[in-house]
């Protein structure tokens, strides 16, 4: 009996008989030889079928194999200098599981719409493998960073009776006869969790009915959100820069091969070390003015503005003290300059835009009640949230990092649609 292995582990089995199970990526023939390129999800390896080494039936069968046919291959592992993974398999036996129908994704160029319609198959390609592996690593590193510092994972619900980030981008759903919304951010519940446990984070899918068709917007995206009691804006910015530089370093340390497949210029990523530049909203506006942008003082930044600002720096930049008017109801105002919110956004370099949004939260009961009323939010739905300011209120702060935009930036991909396995956008819910 030979051992069933993952192709990625093949190096441990030189000279031994192994079995791999996967899909045919490509095949070429030469006389009595057939060279099968087999992928099992962990890696791809060349399997060499020599006519004299297998039964006649098996040899004939190899000629019927089509791209993506599924198969089980048994053979000896031999070192091979020309192979990208250093080994090949000399086939002794081959079992065909299924002969694949004509595969729609071929070596010729396909348009993005076509590939997006075939996302369920496109995920098998090497470029998509690299992206999804880096996504995995970003999530792993993000969670490890918090876990190692004593944060507790306390998840927030997905169905909510209230809005967190404005009422214009809410997905509404029927909840047994009353209205519920898909969460836009786990923050408000994370605040309750922080008052219970001190240092927490939540991690889950978040939803926004974004009518904007930009390369940075999904309707369903994943956010990781720390929330910390007794934290102010400065603590929050420090946590954010340590967090992001940790994630980038972790990916650089573990995913060089994938970054290479994506032809990512890693010299840009190597510069991502804390501290990051931190600028006041007013300074960001100065940058925009110098670059002749038509930006109006007091507005929030749009995608183009973010690109212009971030181009001034070689690493992520944090912009703080946004005008309170354009920011969320829960943000605390600067006591000395109440026109500004104690808010901060982190903008990724190379035009990737905002990856983090965060703030110090309003911790005063009356101030918060006033904001809820000013924003025309339903007071009853926020009664529990106001309670947090009644029973042992403390200064606290947190932020949310969007996984897809972070993956897009690290991978150097302009559009977020490739950074999530099955993207949801205004005009896409299939497959
Ligand atoms: O800046 P946002 O809206 O902040 C919040 O939701 C806060 N409640 C988070 C907190 O303080 N706990 O969103 C945070 C991040 C953005 O910086 C961006 O990376 C990502 O979430 N994001 C999106 N990513 C993809 N598609 C969208 N439509 C996104 N909207 C926000
Ligand atoms: Mg934001």
- Whose Cα sits closest to atom 24 in ligand 1? 402
Q: How far is ligand 1, taken at its centre, from the CA of residue 185, in Å?
A: 7
Q: Counting Cβ atoms within 10 Å, is residue 199 exposed (0-12), middle (13-18) or buried (19+)?
A: buried
Q: How far is ligand 2, taken at its centre, from the CA of residue 330, in Å?
A: 13
Is residue 167 predicted with pLDDT exceeding 90? no
Q: How far is ligand 1, taken at its centre, from the CA of residue 390, in Å?
A: 28
Closest by CA position to 75, among listed 124, 30, 36, 41: 36
pLDDT tens digits for 135-147? 999 999 999 999 9
Under 8 Å between Cβ of 108 and 73: no
Q: Counting Cβ atoms within 10 Å, is residue 35 exposed (0-12), middle (13-18) or buried (19+)?
A: middle
CATH number belonging to the domain at 3-98, selected among 2.40.260.10, 2.102.10.10, 2.40.50.140, 3.40.50.300: 2.40.50.140
d(CA 158, CA 137): 24
pLDDT tens digits for 241-295? 999 999 999 999 999 999 999 999 999 999 999 999 999 999 999 999 999 888 9
DSSP per-residue codes, 124-165: TSHHHHHHHHHHHHHHHHHHHHHHHTT-EE-PPPSEESS-SS
Q: How far is ligand 1, taken at its centre, from the CA of residue 400, in Å?
A: 6
Residue 165's pLDDT band (cuts 50, 70, 90): confident
pLDDT of residue 211: 85
Residue 43's pLDDT band (cuts 50, 70, 90): very high
Does the domain spanning 119-419 belong to CATH 3.30.930.10? Answer: yes
User: Which ligand gives the minimal distance to the CA of 360?
Assistant: 1
Domain ranges across the chain: 3-98, 119-419
| pTM beyond 0.95, yes or no | yes
- Whose Cα sits closest to atom 31 in ligand 1? 402
- Whose Cα sits closest to atom 22 in ligand 1? 402
356 within ligand 1 shell (Cβ under 6 A): yes
Residue with tokens 């070192």: 79
Q: How far is ligand 1, taken at its centre, from the CA of residue 202, in Å?
A: 13
User: Which ligand gives the minimal distance to the CA of 358?
Assistant: 1
210 within ligand 1 shell (Cβ under 6 A): yes
SS3 246: helix
Centroid of chain to Cα 30 = 43
358 within ligand 1 shell (Cβ under 6 A): yes
Is residue 239 predicted with pLDDT exceeding 90? yes
- Whose Cα sits closest to atom 28 in ligand 1? 217
> CB count, 10 Å around CB of 345?
25
Q: How far is ligand 1, taken at its centre, from the CA of residue 359, in Å?
A: 12
Higher pLDDT, 421 or 166: 421
């Amino acid at each position: 009996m030979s051992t069933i292995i993952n192709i990625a582990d093949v190096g441990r089995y030189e000279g031994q008989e192994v079995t791999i199970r996967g899909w045919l990526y490509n095949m070429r023939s030469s006389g009595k030889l057939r060279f099968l390129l087999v992928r099992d999800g962990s890696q791809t390896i060349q399997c060499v079928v020599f006519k004299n080494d297998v039964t006649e039936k098996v040899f004939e069968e190899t000629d019927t194999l089509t791209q993506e046919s599924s198969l089980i291959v048994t053979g000896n592992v031999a070192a091979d200098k020309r192979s990208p993974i250093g080994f090949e398999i000399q086939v002794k036996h081959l079992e065909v599981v299924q002969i694949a129908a004509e595969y729609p994704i071929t070596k010729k160029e396909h348009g993005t719409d076509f590939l997006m319609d075939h996302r369920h198959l496109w995920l098998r390609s090497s470029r998509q493998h690299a992206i999804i592996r880096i996504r995995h690593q970003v999530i792993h590193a993000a969670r490890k960073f918090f876990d190692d510092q004593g944060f507790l994972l306390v998840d927030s619900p997905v169905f909510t009776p209230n809005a967190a980030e404005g009422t214009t981008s809410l997905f509404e759903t029927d909840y047994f006869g009353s209205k519920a919304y898909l969460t836009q951010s786990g923050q408000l519940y994370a605040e309750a969790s922080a008052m219970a446990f001190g240092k927490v984070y939540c991690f889950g899918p978040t939803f926004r009915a974004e009518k904007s068709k930009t390369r940075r917007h999904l309707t369903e995206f994943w956010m990781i959100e720390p929330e910390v009691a007794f934290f102010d804006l400065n603590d929050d910015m420090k946590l954010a820069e340590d967090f992001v530089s940790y994630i980038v370093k972790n990916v650089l340390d573990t995913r060089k091969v994938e970054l290479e497949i994506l032809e990512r210029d890693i010299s840009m990523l190597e510069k991502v070390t804390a501290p990051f530049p931190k600028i006041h909203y007013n300074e960001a506006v100065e940058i925009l003015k110098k670059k002749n942008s038509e930006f109006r003082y007091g507005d929030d930044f749009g995608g183009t503005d973010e690109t212009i600002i971030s181009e001034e720096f070689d690493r992520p930049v944090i912009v703080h003290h946004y005008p309170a008017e354009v920011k969320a109801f829960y943000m605390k105002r600067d006591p000395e300059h109440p026109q500004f919110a104690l808010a901060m956004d982190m903008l990724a370099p190379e035009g990737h835009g905002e990856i983090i949004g965060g703030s110090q939260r309003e911790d005063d009961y009356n101030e918060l009640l006033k904001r809820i009323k000013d924003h025309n939010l339903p007071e009853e739905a926020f009664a529990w949230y106001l309670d947090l300011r009644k029973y042992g209120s403390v200064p606290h702060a947190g932020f949310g990092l969007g996984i897809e935009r972070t993956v897009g930036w690290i991978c150097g991909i302009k559009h977020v649609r490739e950074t999530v396995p099955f993207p949801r956008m205004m005009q896409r819910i299939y497959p």
